[in-house]
């Protein structure tokens, strides 16, 4: 008998009908002879509604009380799901993050899991129950306060529980059929990926793919927990994410896993920086001290006549204001002429372990963009990824062009999006 | 510096505006030099909405999961309230029932508090914080599961915390100005009671007054915690409930505290019972075994010719079906001719410690009813209460007639109802 961890997102349990549908699917897994642990998110837009309420009573909601508020959403969905399962004649018990032994640090609103002690879950499973666990939440080790894990936290809860319980697989149910070779809303001919390695999935997640978040994949890779991303609206096989292909999955590995894009970043250019040692360090120390994560960095070739250069970097749009303020404040220490802020950029990334051994990939990528009339502003590469920054308006066309150029197009428009955004 | 426990009902925190208004009032109490503990109910109709959702996924929601579901409502309101207080520049921390040390038995949906260990609350108060506690919920002593205290449970939470923390007063904020001499929706000239003894308040609560529930008053009397029932919508003094009048309250105690009524009961008459020892016992053992609480009981004088008698009793309408079924099932053992069920009855009760020493009260009560043309079907008395059962339709007129006859009418229509039902 195997142990399976299943995670259902908010769009899968958006209403009473959704909860009953999910309950049936859980009972099927149980009937197939598995021990079943289910991690569930808040119903539909519950979390956003709670955030909205919080903003009405306080302009800057944050910290301990905000976590206490947000975790109410998962308590509602998990209790309802347990009731719906009982109504199908099976025993189910729901557990808060704290009851499930999800121990975190004390960083409210984006806590990190530091340990999972699932004693009560194990006990409940051994009694033959289905265990339902509130996603997205834990309890802080030192203060015993309720914490939340930040966006996508329920996926991380599921993977962490799967690791702690030594599960065979962590199934992530969402509103799409799996991970696609590109965003199906942009590329109609995007193909579902049957299997993808942890490494390629990490690069896709870091490049803007929203099906799985980076942190969750990282956790799964560390503990070697296979993830099966699939739809809660269909019975189809989804995408397996693991270290090696499992079972009868295609042995022939694709050169390119997929094309990701991201329009959530902005670009800051620091103009007229003296081209001498320590200048870049001063800029990025300033940014780091403001606790801002940056993505791509490019330094122009210095103009010989002036001895000045420009440094550009990308960062989340939401951090733009903070970064500009921090740099302006430190302008005397750093020394630069001016700052340029541009939030009309997009990033297109090509990801695939195969590019290590296929030297033509970079050239083909740039050719495809050029043929589509897309101008490249910045370039960044890793061993298994190439990313470029373009105008935001060019992104959809660029993604389609690259997708076609690398032979990723499906023969049919197979991608189906069932519900909302699915987080 | 005193310690005050305040409790706010759902109608007081129905929306963001309500929460902000309540936050201001709490901060005032703090500024007046008090340590403040606040018990809060779920916002407005949240609990009813959650019950509705539960009924959609399962026809008989109950038990552990139902409690897990319902307690989400208080977590939302308490977290929002803590945020609103912080926004006014004061420190507040919210606590679940479990965190507040509200220990209960394991009877889900109507657990009883067996201990309160408010160590974390005390610690938070000593740091200068305002402590916000989720009403209506606790944690079971043996299983560490979340429990709820049943209807009116937040009032009980407040009184229990007040007792455990040795508070000076437990303030119950609601949507009316206090306890009135009759239901203001029925008697326009009902007067607010300035002070009432625990004993009279217990009788009023048992007789249908809904402002405070019986269990909460019982708890307050046991630990001698003064309750101040008042409106969260006005700054007026409300009704003090305590063993003795406090401060400058009128020393002259009224003979009659008030008139209560109740139309939530039904009457069952067991017809043709052999008038011999053990018959009544057989009937009420049957009812007790079905876990039904009965209220009034009357046995008719036996008809000499037949040796048969009738026994009538009242019980909550919601238990009617169950009682009839239980009696029919035991008909052979009990021995009776037939059962009559009547749910068109109402009960009017006159309550006041003064009636012990004023022998004319009973006569005046019956005269008032008679003058109003109201027929009496059953009578029951205690030392400080007289109750009669009449037709349900007669109740409003009967209450008004009795209220006037005992000189309880106010000179003005002073009763104001601000919001919803206020639980």
pLDDT string in tens for chain A (423-residue length): 699 999 999 999 999 999 999 999 999 999 999 999 999 999 998 999 999 999 999 987 778 999 999 999 999 999 999 999 999 999 999 999 999 999 999 999 889 999 999 999 999 999 999 999 999 999 999 878 899 998 889 999 999 999 999 999 999 999 889 999 999 999 999 999 999 999 999 999 999 998 998 999 999 999 999 999 999 888 899 999 999 887 666 555 678 999 999 999 999 999 998 888 788 888 999 998 988 888 888 877 766 678 888 899 999 999 999 999 999 999 988 889 999 999 999 999 999 988 888 878 888 999 999 999 999 988 888 889 999 999 999 999 999 999 999 999 988 765 555 443 333
Q: Where are the beta strands (DSSP E) in A187-344?
A: 195-197, 227-231, 239-242, 258-262, 265-274, 297-299, 308-316, 338-342
CA-wise closest residue to A180 among A168, A161, A193: A193
| Interchain proximity A57–B16, CB inside 8 Å | yes
What confidence category does residue B275 fall into, taking pLDDT thresholds of 50, 70 and 90? confident
Q: Could you give the CA distance from residue B172 to residue B212 in angstroms, rounded to a whole number?
A: 9
CB count in 10 Å sphere of residue A316: 16
Question: Measuring CA to CA, how many Å separate B319 from each of B121, B291, B334?
Answer: 39, 9, 20
Kindly provide the b/e burial profile for residues A272-292, where b requires at least 16 CB atoms within 10 angstroms of the residue's own CB: ebebeeebbeebeebbeeeeb
Residue B78 near chain A (CB below 8 Å): yes
Cβ atoms of A256 and A358 within 8 Å: the answer is no
**Residue in B with minimal Cα distance to A68:** B79
**B93 contacts A64? CB cut-off 8 A:** yes
| Whether B21 contacts chain A with CB within 8 A | no
Q: Which residues of B touch A50 (CB under 8 A)?
A: 76
Q: How far apart (Å, rounded) are the C-alpha atoms in residues B174 and A110?
A: 37
Residue A247 pLDDT: 67
B96-145: pLDDT as tens digits:
999 999 999 999 988 999 999 999 999 999 999 999 999 999 999 987 88
- Contact list in B for residue A144 (CB cut-off 8 A) is 99
| Predicted local confidence at residue A253, as pLDDT | 62
Give the model confidence (pLDDT) of A324-366 as tens digits: 999 999 998 888 999 999 999 999 999 998 888 887 888 899 9
Nearest CB to A80: which of B57, B83, B92? Answer: B57
Closest Cβ–Cβ partner in B16, B58, B87 for A87: B58
Find, among A149, A152, A29, the residue nearest to A92 by Cα: A29
Q: What is the distance in angstroms between the Cα of B79 and the nearest Cα belonging to chain A?
A: 5
Q: What is the pLDDT of residues B74-97, one digit of tens each?
A: 999 999 999 999 999 999 999 999
Q: Give the angle subtended at the CA of B192 by the CAs of B188 and B197, to the nearest 5°.
A: 135
Residues 24-43 of B with CB under 8 A from A: none
Helix (H), strand (E) at residue B39: strand B35-40
Provide, as residue numbers in chain A, all residues whose Cβ is less than 8 Å from the Cβ of B20: 57
What are the chain B neighbours of A82 within 8 Å (beta carbons)? Answer: 65, 68
How far does B291 lie from chain A, in Å, by closest CA?
A: 25
Q: Which domains does chain B have, with CATH numbers?
A: 3-251 (3.40.1160.10)
Residue entry with tokens 């996926």: A155
Q: Do A65 and B79 touch (CB under 8 A)?
A: yes
Helix (H) / strand (E) containing A115: strand A113-116
Strands (E), B343-384: 345-351, 378-382
Contacts of A377 by beta carbon, 8 Å cutoff, 6+ apart: A267, A345, A388, A389, A390, A391
Bridge partner list, B350: B259, B386
- Residue A46 belongs to what H/E stretch? helix A46-57
Burial A165-188 (b: 16+ CB within 10 A, else e): bebbbbbbbbbbbbbbbbbbebbe
Could you tell me if B93 lies within 8 Å of chain A, comparing CB atoms? yes
């Amino acid at each position: 008998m195997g142990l399976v961890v299943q995670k259902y997102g908010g769009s899968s349990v958006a209403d009473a009908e959704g909860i009953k549908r999910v309950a049936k699917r859980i009972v099927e897994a149980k009937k197939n002879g598995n021990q079943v642990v289910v991690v569930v998110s808040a119903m539909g837009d519950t979390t956003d509604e709670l955030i909205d309420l919080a903003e009405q009573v306080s302009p800057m909601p944050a910290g301990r009380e905000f976590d206490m508020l947000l975790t109410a959403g998962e308590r509602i969905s998990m209790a309802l799901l347990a009731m719906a399962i009982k109504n199908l004649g099976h025993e189910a018990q729901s557990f808060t993050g704290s009851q499930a032994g999800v121990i975190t640090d004390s960083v409210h609103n984006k806590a990190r899991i530091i340990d999972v002690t699932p004693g009560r879950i194990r006990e409940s499973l051994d009694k033959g129950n289905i265990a339902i666990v509130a996603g997205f939440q834990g309890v802080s080790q030192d203060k015993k306060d309720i914490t939340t894990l930040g966006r996508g936290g329920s996926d991380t809860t599921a993977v962490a529980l799967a690791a702690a319980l030594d599960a065979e697989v962590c199934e992530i149910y969402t509103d799409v059929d799996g991970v696609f070779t590109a965003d199906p809303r942009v590329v109609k001919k995007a193909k579902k990926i049957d299997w993808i390695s942890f490494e390629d999935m990490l690069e896709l997640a870091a490049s803007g793919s929203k099906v799985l978040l980076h942190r969750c994949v990282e956790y799964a890779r560390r503990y070697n927990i296979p993830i099966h991303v699939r739809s809660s609206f269909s019975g189809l096989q989804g995408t397996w994410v693991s270290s090696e292909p499992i079972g009868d999955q295609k042995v022939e590995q694709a050169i390119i896993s997929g094309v990701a894009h991201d329009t959530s970043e902005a670009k800051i250019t620091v103009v007229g920086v003296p081209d001498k040692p320590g200048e870049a360090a001063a800029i990025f120390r300033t940014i780091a001290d403001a606790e801002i994560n940056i993505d791509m960095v490019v330094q122009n070739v210095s103009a010989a006549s002036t001895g000045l250069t420009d440094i550009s970097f990308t960062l989340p749009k939401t951090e733009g204001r903070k970064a500009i303020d921090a740099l302006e404040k430190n302008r005397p220490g750093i020394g630069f002429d001016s700052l340029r802020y541009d939030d009309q950029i997009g990033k297109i990334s090509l990801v695939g372990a195969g590019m290590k051994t296929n030297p033509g990939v970079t050239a083909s990528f740039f050719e495809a963009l050029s043929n589509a009339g897309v101008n490249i502003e910045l370039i960044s590469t890793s061993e298994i990824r190439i990313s470029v920054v373009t105008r935001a308006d060019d992104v959809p066309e660029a993604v389609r062009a690259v997708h076609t150029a690398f032979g990723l197009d499906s023969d049919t428009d197979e991608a189906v999006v069932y519900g909302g955004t699915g987080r």
